[in-house]
Every structure is written in C-alpha cells, then in structure tokens.
C-alpha cells in the first residue's frame, strides 16, 4: 500500500474491472444457426421528417437494403438476409467474427446499419440526422431457419395490410386516433375491403416487396477467365450477392428453396 498525500491508501494490485463487465463472455455456441435481427428506433418520426411516402416508399426500402449491405462490407458473412419495413434479419452459421460474442454482434452489426443509413439520410435531408437500430440474437436449429423467415414475412404482410388501411383513413381526413379506433378489431379481409372501397387499391396486387419484403441472397454462377498458369481459358464457380425484390412466400416450396440455396451457396464457398 502507498499513501496518496491525504493519508488514503491505494493498493498496488490492479482491480479486475474486466471481471465486472456484464455478459462479456456470453457467446453464440459454435455450430448453431442464429439470426441477428435489427430494428429501427423511432423510424416513423424519421420517415415523416425525411418526407418518405406513406405507407411505402421505394427510396426508403433501398435505404434499408443498402444499410443491410453495410454489414457484409463490414466483414460479416450472413448466409441470407431478409429485410422488411425498418427491420433486417441476418442469418449466420459458422460466423467467427469476435468469437461470436453476443455483446459484439448486437452492437457492431446495428452500428454498421446505423452509420450507412445516417449517411444516406443526410444526402436526402441535406443535414445530419442521428439514426439508430437495436439488435437481438435469435438461436435456431437448421430445421427452423425457413420457418423463422416465414414468420417474419407474415409480419411483413400484417404490416402491409395495416399500414395501407391506416394511411387510407388518414388520407380521408381522419385523425390518427380516429383511424386507429376505426381499425381496431378488424380482420384482414375487412381491412382489404376497406382499402379497396376507400382507395380502390387491391392489396394482393401491390408491389411484391411491399407485401413480402426483400432478400439478399447468395447465388452460384459460372464465370470464364484466362488461367495464365495453364495458358488457357477456364470456367470457375463463383458466388455473388443478389438483391431479390420479387420474393416467393417462404412457406412455399419455391420460398424454402430460395433460402436453402443461398445458405448452401455461401457455406460451399467457405469450404
């Protein structure tokens, strides 16, 4: 012990503040599939200020897709990503970044999205506006991956129907409180009828990305190039990331095949 002038004593041993960190050693178990789901914070007010069209705006959808791509560019390796509204779901397996520490996954991934979204929003507004996403980790076994994506896609459909109904009523002069009260308790079929009657919109015929969301999928493709060692042109199998704006339903065979093909393409490229 040594004195600090006023008579107080300080131990020569360094205190172990590292041991005081909460959840610092919580990790996703190796071998498990998992999703990092990011959700926008306060995006309704943000979209109002930015002047995005309601209930859906393709410019906002492209902002979300670009923000999701920032996660790939930031060094992470999702097998498949599903985007709907202000939500992005990143599917991982075999991810080694930061040793799969949950505190890193749920801080860095939404930070990458937030920084990209803020830059894009600044271009639109002409001034800086803070943007934030929160995040959580969802553990999955391989057999439940497609079911999880189908669950989020059903949420996209519910959001699609409710949003069209709500903003249709606002466009007819109702206040937000009046619109919410009128919609309370209505079933999907009744919401469909309301929107068609009041706005002439068939909700089953709106753009697919509004109804079903958007995905970032890995696809295999054959590329041809010159092999200088062999002295000849050769074909090679590569994978590339593709935006999919015309999604099938994930609970159909086509939808299941799309998700699994992306997973397989990415995992094969890492082998």
pLDDT band (50, 70, 90) for residue 10: low
Q: Which long-range contacts (CB under 8 A, 24 or more apart) does 51-54 make?
A: 51/124, 54/163, 54/167, 54/170
Q: Is residue 20 part of a domain?
A: no
Q: Is residue 116 part of a domain?
A: yes
Q: Is residue 19 part of a domain?
A: no
Q: What is the pLDDT of residue 7?
A: 53
Say if CB 118 and CB 129 are below 8 A apart. Answer: yes
pTM of the model: 0.89
Q: What is the pLDDT of residue 9?
A: 58
CATH number, domain of 231, equals 3.30.70.3000
Q: Is residue 11 part of a domain?
A: no
Neighbours of 10 (CB within 10 A): 9
Q: Structural domain tally of the chain?
A: 1
Q: Is residue 109 part of a domain?
A: yes
Q: Is residue 89 part of a domain?
A: yes
Q: Is residue 5 part of a domain?
A: no
pLDDT tens string 18-70:
777 777 789 999 889 999 999 999 999 999 999 999 999 999 999 999 999 99
13 Cα distance to chain centroid: 45
- Mean pLDDT, the chain, rounded, equals 92
Q: Is residue 50 part of a domain?
A: yes
Is it the case that residue 140 has pLDDT exceeding 60?
yes
pLDDT tens string 82-114:
999 999 999 999 888 888 899 999 999 999 999
94 Cα distance to chain centroid: 19
Q: Domain range for residue 60?
A: 33-270
pLDDT tens string 207-233:
999 999 999 999 998 777 777 877 777
């Amino acid at each position: 012990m040594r004195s600090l002038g006023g008579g107080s004593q300080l131990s020569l041993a360094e205190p172990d503040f590292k041991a005081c960190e909460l959840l610092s050693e919580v990790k996703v178990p190796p071998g498990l599939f998992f999703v990092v789901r990011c959700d926008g914070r306060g995006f309704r007010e943000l979209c109002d200020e930015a002047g995005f069209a309601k209930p859906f705006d393709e410019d906002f959808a492209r902002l979300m897709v670009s923000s999701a791509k920032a996660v790939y560019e930031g060094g992470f390796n999702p097998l498949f990503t599903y985007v709907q509204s202000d939500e992005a779901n990143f599917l991982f397996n075999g991810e080694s970044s930061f040793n799969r520490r949950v505190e890193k996954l749920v801080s860095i991934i939404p930070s990458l999205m937030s920084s990209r979204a803020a830059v894009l929003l600044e271009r639109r507004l002409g001034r800086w506006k803070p943007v934030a996403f929160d995040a959580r980790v969802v553990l999955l076994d391989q057999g439940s991956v497609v079911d999880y994506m189908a669950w989020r896609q059903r949420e996209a459909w519910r959001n699609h129907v409710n949003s069209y109904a709500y903003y249709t009523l606002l466009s007819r002069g109702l206040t937000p409180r009046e619109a919410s009260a009128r919609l309370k308790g209505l079933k999907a079929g009744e919401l469909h009828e309301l929107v068609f009657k009041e706005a002439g919109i068939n909700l089953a015929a709106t753009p697919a990305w509004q109804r079903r969301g958007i995905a970032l999928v890995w696809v295999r493709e054959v590329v041809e190039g010159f092999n200088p060692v062999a002295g000849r042109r050769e074909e090679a199998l590569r994978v590339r990331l593709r935006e999919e704006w015309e999604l099938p339903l994930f609970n159909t065979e086509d939808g299941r095949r799309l998700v699994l093909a992306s997973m397989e393409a990415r995992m094969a490229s890492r082998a």
